[in-house]
Amino acid sequence: MLYFCRGASAPCCEDGVYQAPKGTQDVLPDDIGAWRYVEAATHRLAGEFGFGEIRTPTFEETALFLKGVGETTDIAEKEMYSFVDKGGAHLTLRPEATATLIRAYLQHGMHNRPQPVKLYTLINAFRHDQPQAGRLREFHQWNCEGIGESDPLVDAELVTLLWRLLESVGLRDLSVQLNSIGDAACRPQFIQALTAYFEQHQADLCADDRRRLRTNPLRLLDCKVPTCQPIIAAAPRSVDYLCAACDEHFAKLRGYLDDLDLPITLNPRLVRGVDYYTRTVFEVWPPTVGGQSTLGGGGRYDGLAELLGGKPTPGVGFAMGIERVILNLKAQQVAIPPLDAPTAFAVHKGEAGKRMAWRLADRLRQAHVSAVVAAGDRSLKAQMRQANTVGARWALICGPDEAESGTVQVKHLASGEEQRLSLDAAVQRLSAQPADTDSQP
């Protein structure tokens, strides 16, 4: 039986060869160095800021995300991968992590721990969007959340953590966009003013905005349609409607960020794509700004835990897109440290030589020296070429003579110097070499 992707113009396999589904990508060994580099930085920085790692399921009950991100957001309306499983449960592949982390906080009684509970997670997330550079259907995020504390110092800590990460991987010329969109006490007045303003300009708005005006007026500020931009530019600003408590919170946050000289841009138009935000919202933008270029963003969500059935619990966090960080590292030509190439590459001639190479590689690995044995029975010359191509530092030449004498020819590939050593001496020599230097025999 043949299965075709519904809505696809062609089957997933071309000329009989299957392709990765639209909007997903394979990360090939040549690119893994960049991923490991960024991921290592996320673990390091999260640790330095006192965040603990959490791992959660790839799918949740659909209702969690509908309530969490808001039913009238693009994510809930158009982008969720939702399905009914064989037991009849309504499930959704996670489009983000925040609702999940709040669910986990509530489920595991984390309010009993010292607050805020600071959590981070590296996830794959799924949104059925139109794929383009930096916008995928399966993508990866680094999420950090500080849950259980309303102190603006926690907001400042989250903004700083995102900034320091991007700085530490070597990205330059970024800006932090910051805004406050108020809370349940003052937002309704702002929304009222916003609705009244956009109603006056309804005839000039795009069709999507006319619909959003009825469902979610705040989202109009995020519209990218060029003809809507002059209208948005003159719209009421949330910061002018903040109540005293929100105003003070925002002022303190700005003060803490000023203390650290972060390059903050106050952006009174900044709103975010999900509904749970209160007060602080922020994003980090690369020098070339576009719909799919935001490197990371987040904000405060003091009403989310209650919305998900818990006690009122403040929280603030962000997510950073790993693919977008890697795209920007490439665009800015940041040098990524190479992954370790194998230390030794064992080449061989004849079956006895091959068996010797096989045993020697095993001894080296047991001594924690990375070793590759050439597979197949190509010529010694072809195997040596392969040793150079994979970047090995030493070739171990095992032929019939070596097998006979129980010795091995050890060649340092960069200098070309060679030495015949007993197997014990070869293992000792290579395990004595620091992995990151190019020391000679």
What residues line the site for ligand HAM (CB under 6 A)? 96-98, 127, 129, 134-136, 139, 141, 143, 145, 273, 294-299, 301, 317-321, 323-324
Alpha helices in 222-277 (DSSP H): 229-233, 244-259
- The number of beta carbons lying within 10 Å of the beta carbon of residue 123 is 20
Q: How far apart are CA 423 and CA 406, in angstroms?
A: 7
Q: How far apart are CA 39 and CA 142, in angstroms?
A: 8
Residue number with CB closer to ligand HAM (161 or 213): 161
Residue number with CB closer to ligand HAM (68 or 353): 68
Give 78-82's long-range contacts (Cβ < 8 A, gap of 24+): 78/128, 78/129, 79/127, 79/128, 79/129, 80/126, 80/127, 80/128, 81/126, 81/127, 81/128
Least distance from ligand HAM to the Cβ atom of residue 228, Å: 20
Contact (Cβ atoms closer than 8 angstroms) between residue 332 and residue 170: yes
Q: How far apart are CA 441 and CA 434, in angstroms?
A: 12
Least distance from ligand HAM to the Cβ atom of residue 136, Å: 4
| Maximal CA-CA distance, the chain | 93
Specify the 3-state DSSP secondary structure of 314. Answer: coil
Least distance from ligand HAM to the Cβ atom of residue 129, Å: 5
Q: At residue 215, what are phi and psi to the nearest 5 degrees?
A: -95, -40
Residue number with CB closer to ligand HAM (284 or 356): 284
Least distance from ligand HAM to the Cβ atom of residue 236, Å: 23
Closest Cα to residue 320, out of 73, 178, 144?
A: 144
Q: How far apart are CA 322 and CA 283, in angstroms?
A: 15
Least distance from ligand HAM to the Cβ atom of residue 324, Å: 4
Contact (Cβ atoms closer than 8 angstroms) between residue 357 and residue 347: yes
Q: How far apart are CA 208 and CA 18, in angstroms?
A: 36
Q: Which residue's C-beta sits nearest to ligand HAM?
A: 321
Residue number with CB closer to ligand HAM (281 or 344): 281
Least distance from ligand HAM to the Cβ atom of residue 139, Å: 3
Least distance from ligand HAM to the Cβ atom of residue 213, Å: 22
Least distance from ligand HAM to the Cβ atom of residue 71, Å: 16
Residue number with CB closer to ligand HAM (220 or 387): 220
Least distance from ligand HAM to the Cβ atom of residue 262, Å: 18
Bond prior to 188 in cis (omega within 30° of 0): no
DSSP 51: P
Q: At residue 316, what are phi and psi to the nearest 5 degrees?
A: -150, 145
Q: How far apart are CA 136 and CA 305, in angstroms?
A: 29
Q: Which residues of 43-79 are buried (b: 16+ CB within 10 A; e: fewer)?
A: eebbeebebeebebeebbebebbbbbbbeebbbbeeb
Q: How far apart are CA 149 and CA 302, in angstroms?
A: 9
Residue number with CB closer to ligand HAM (217 or 321): 321
Residue number with CB closer to ligand HAM (70 or 296): 296
Residue number with CB closer to ligand HAM (273 or 441): 273
Residue number with CB closer to ligand HAM (160 or 386): 160
Least distance from ligand HAM to the Cβ atom of residue 29, Å: 22
Residue number with CB closer to ligand HAM (116 or 321): 321
Q: How far apart are CA 423 and CA 352, in angstroms?
A: 15
Residue number with CB closer to ligand HAM (111 or 363): 111
Least distance from ligand HAM to the Cβ atom of residue 315, Å: 8
Contacts of 37 (CB under 8 A, 6+ apart): 169, 336, 337
